[in-house]
Amino acid sequence: MFIDGDFWHGWRFPAWKAKIPAFWQDKIEKNRQRDARSFAALRRHGWKVIRLWEHAVKVDAGAQVDRMCAALAER
């Protein structure tokens, strides 16, 4: 399970990418690429990857806990 920060992991990144300096654009793009590689590798090894976003946890942490529990129940 991953709880990703909206800024650092680029939630809806294409919508706001142009509003930040090139340094941060590059940093966040690399974070997103690394996340994709990591999640793919974990899935190949049989892991179930659950990604929660910072804003979703802040808005309704209970719903995110329910999501985690449902994913665990599936396994």
Residue-wise pLDDT tens digits, 11-48: 999 999 999 999 999 999 999 999 999 999 999 999 99
**Number of compact structural domains in the chain:** 1
What are 69's two structure tokens?
């529990």
What confidence score (pLDDT) does residue 16 get? Answer: 97
Confidence grade of residue 75 (pLDDT, cut at 50, 70, 90): confident
Task: Work out the average pLDDT over 49-61.
Answer: 96
pTM reported for the whole predicted model: 0.86
Domain of residue 24, residue span: 2-74
Contact 52, 1 (CB under 8 A): yes
